[in-house]
Structure 1
């Protein structure tokens, strides 16, 4: 139903106690989000003003229309990483169109009920992606930290290495000043939380270095002029050529916005003790609308922000009113304090993002992933390396493929065949009957190995009857069913009678459609109990040794 994708009265709790909790949480998140909005706007290449606009416009729209009551949305590091090469390649004028197109795509994904897709992303892929994003955010700030202008575009790690080399070869006053600002910001952000968790360390750090820079007349690049109000919405021009040129970038932005927002909403639900539910499809619709609105107002694509969402939950937020308040706080800054904000050194924002990136990599989580298993560690490392070296979306895709490969290999290894002794007392002729128990999954990754073993053992030992126990098979795909049919055909062609026992009801249709049951010598060679199958196998061997015809079989159709 469309109704479950739209806002409702139940989204809010207007009791005084809940409203007060949301106001406090929203104020806290707004103070924390302000320097991040500025920093991500600058690092993406669209500018600090666009970061502020995104935090306000997208923050309100996503809060009202999104599927999580505790999610805080706005500009994020991952989006800045994706957007930077788009700006470098297509220019600043392309951002609005990319943002709007990406938002429409995300809305469509929500309307098509694709929100559950995030559940198919394995844990090591998520952690590897997060590590890669953190590394890119840190590396992006290296040129600003050492006082060197970075070349737009190109690999982030290479650009950072070149910036360090250039700074080392010609270190001057600019490098000393920028490194000093970064060091002070990092020191404040890392030590202040140990004294009090209630103080917004990033805001205090930025304010402190701004005051010092002004007092000392430091020769540092500043943010520059900012608007003192929100711009009027403007519909970006969209020609056929522009759509073709920017379509790929918009799809990449949309994919990242959907994945990051759903992951953040899931994290918020797991952290909350008051609101542990979220609607993934509505979340996509809300985030898509937020990006469309942000693009119309000159902002950048928005996503759910995991760090700010976590602050919101820990600050006691009850409903989505807290996220709305966070956006209003930033709007108040735009209206009342753009003058002081414009004097913030860019190196201060670089320091904030460096510390933020460092905090995105919890050592305990990395150690847990690496120790879990070789396959988990490999998936984690591959995803992280591809994220840093190549592309974010490709990193997720390849990470999922690597995880799927290891999962299929594990399932294939779990699939097996075991030759078992016949039940009951041994009887003459039992050496001519082979009982095989198939278990696990009979699918394309395991069927050939398993069924080849059955065929080889049967032919080598000269058996006359093969009993296949299929009750242990948990999954059979078309390839496995086809291989099973080929096995029955080959054994029957060699004069070996095949009896099948214990086909699960869910597998009967597939085995019949693929033709496995048609390969049996008689349709009554399908048994429900092992006793009936073994009794007939022994009877068949006795009669064949006396040269008599095999009587009618006691089986189940």
Structure 2
């Protein structure tokens, strides 16, 4: 089925959006349902085991609590699989949202004299607005426009976010910020690029070598095991190994654990959280536009990229993903997930690829992933508190390293000097300034230059015709 067979009117799209059993389920038949369900369950199990440490790490890097990541990943997958436009996509916390949500919590949360509840309430508020905008965009057929974002800028902002993630998790591996927090000191290494680098040099005397050892060990074990096979839950094994070492051989080495920073991890996951607004000022209004724009951009672009990649990776020969329905599904995710202790989520490239390689064929894989993930977290909550913060940092640095793909950079380089320059510009501006400033300025420059060159080309053709 081709793209043009999807509904082309707003009313037709709305009807399709609420058709829950649509073409995404076409591979589940009476003849193969046992095999398909088994394959989807296996894929869900593999992804769930990989997703727990990653979700916790993403949440903590954003300035939130570990359980927020667990809840967000499970709930987003259920909602996205129900209302989204892709057969295969796995929804959950993603690296692209880290600088966006971290910036909100840095400004409105405890780090700046505010309260966690205030920052979370504001995040819910902007996320709901973003969700409504995404739903409207899906209804009016804006899904196809997400594909217009140049690949050079997409690769650039991915590289930039990878650098930002690595920098914002330096304190966990080095044992700097956590150590200062426990002593009641004010040093905070989570900030901009130059702030982070200068903070490292100011705190070289506080570095814990055993913390570095655990961070590097976690990174190496995760990367090594997943190179052997995607069916090996590398992050879980690495996390278990680091936790055992920190509680036995390294118990007296000053290793900071999750419970030292966040206390106990509750297993009463689903608690209603309401949106709220700080005192309305000009700055808050500007921030509303900023964060809404950032959430809409990340949701739209990353979900379309992930869906497109999933169809190619799965060699989908039947109905392709529907970009408009994907926008609608993203909108539902951004409205509902934060209301239950979660935060904005989108399609996760690495987890989607893992799910497909593990045999996923229908949205059932996403439902299984959510159920297994919550069940494991419920019974393991006490043990998750014992994970070293250095282990979380190692997992996130592994995530960051996977985001930088040499093949994509080479492809951009072969596309021309201008495309390569735009990739480099975006990659530098995202960590140096902020996510939205870097991407929007890159888009403005890109399309301005393209417009000027197109006009110049038309003028030259006109002059040749006149002569």
**TM-score class, shorter:** 0.7 to 0.9
Distance, in Å, in 1 between the alignment partners of 2:408 and 2:460 is 37
Deviation readout 1:8-39 (Å, 9 max, x if unpaired): 32333261111111101111111111111000
> Is 1:301 aligned to 2:301, yes or no?
no
Distance, in Å, in 2 between the alignment partners of 1:131 and 1:276 is 32
* 1:269 equivalent in structure 2: 311
Distance, in Å, in 1 between the alignment partners of 2:449 and 2:276 is 46
Q: 1:5 aligns with which of 7, 17, 35?
A: 17
> Is 1:355 aligned to 2:398, yes or no?
yes
Q: Deviation of residue 401 (structure 1)? A: 3.4
* 2:353 equivalent in structure 1: 310
Instruction: Indicate conservation of the 8 Å contact 1:110/1:283, yes or no.
Output: yes
Which entry has the higher C-alpha Rg, 1 or 2?
A: 1
Instruction: Indicate conservation of the 8 Å contact 1:67/1:278, yes or no.
Output: yes
Cα gap change, 1:214 to 1:226, in 2 (>3 Å): same
Deviation readout 1:297-353 (Å, 9 max, x if unpaired): 011111111111111111110011101111111110232110011111111011001
> Is 1:193 aligned to 2:219, yes or no?
no
Q: Deviation of residue 103 (structure 1)? A: 2.1
Deviation readout 1:60-83 (Å, 9 max, x if unpaired): 111111111111111111101111
> Is 1:45 aligned to 2:63, yes or no?
yes
Q: 1:213 aligns with which of 224, 246, 261?
A: 246
TM-score using structure 1 length: 0.71
* 2:128 equivalent in structure 1: 100
> Is 1:232 aligned to 2:271, yes or no?
yes
Runs of 4+ in 1 over 6 A off after TM superposition: none
Give the gaps of 5 or more residues in structure 1.
413-443, 458-557
Deviation readout 1:429-451 (Å, 9 max, x if unpaired): xxxxxxxxxxxxxxx43444444
Distance, in Å, in 2 between the alignment partners of 1:320 and 1:453 is 57
Distance, in Å, in 1 between the alignment partners of 2:461 and 2:230 is 59
Instruction: Indicate conservation of the 8 Å contact 2:194/2:432, yes or no.
Output: no
> Is 1:445 aligned to 2:456, yes or no?
yes
* 1:116 equivalent in structure 2: 144
**How many aligned residue pairs are there?**
420
Instruction: Indicate conservation of the 8 Å contact 1:74/1:303, yes or no.
Output: yes
> What SS does structure 2 have at the residue aligned with 1:337?
helix
Distance, in Å, in 2 between the alignment partners of 1:445 and 1:245 is 37
> Is 1:161 aligned to 2:197, yes or no?
yes
Distance, in Å, in 2 between the alignment partners of 1:446 and 1:273 is 39
Distance, in Å, in 1 between the alignment partners of 2:171 and 2:195 is 8
* 2:93 equivalent in structure 1: 75
Instruction: Indicate conservation of the 8 Å contact 1:147/1:167, yes or no.
Output: no
* 1:59 equivalent in structure 2: 77
TM-score using structure 2 length: 0.84
Which structure has more helix as a fraction of its residues? 2
* 2:258 equivalent in structure 1: 223
Deviation readout 1:154-196 (Å, 9 max, x if unpaired): 41x223312321342x145xx2121011111122122223444
Q: Deviation of residue 276 (structure 1)? A: 6.0
* 1:247 equivalent in structure 2: 288
The residue correspondences of 1:421-440 to structure 2 (distance < 5 A) are none
Deviation readout 1:176-232 (Å, 9 max, x if unpaired): 121011111122122223444421111111110011111131422222211212232
Tell me whether 32-41 or 394-403 shows the greater mean CA deviation.
394-403
> Is 1:17 aligned to 2:35, yes or no?
yes
> What SS does structure 1 have at the residue aligned with 2:456?
coil
> What SS does structure 1 have at the residue aligned with 2:320?
coil
Deviation readout 1:362-384 (Å, 9 max, x if unpaired): 12221232233111211211121
Relative contact order, CA 8 A, sep 6+: which one is greater?
Answer: 2
Give the gaps of 5 or more residues in structure 2.
1-11, 110-115, 178-186
CA RMSD across the alignment: 2.2
Instruction: Indicate conservation of the 8 Å contact 1:146/1:163, yes or no.
Output: no
> What SS does structure 1 have at the residue aligned with 2:280?
helix
> What SS does structure 1 have at the residue aligned with 2:398?
helix
Deviation readout 1:239-275 (Å, 9 max, x if unpaired): 8838736522223222222221121111112211246
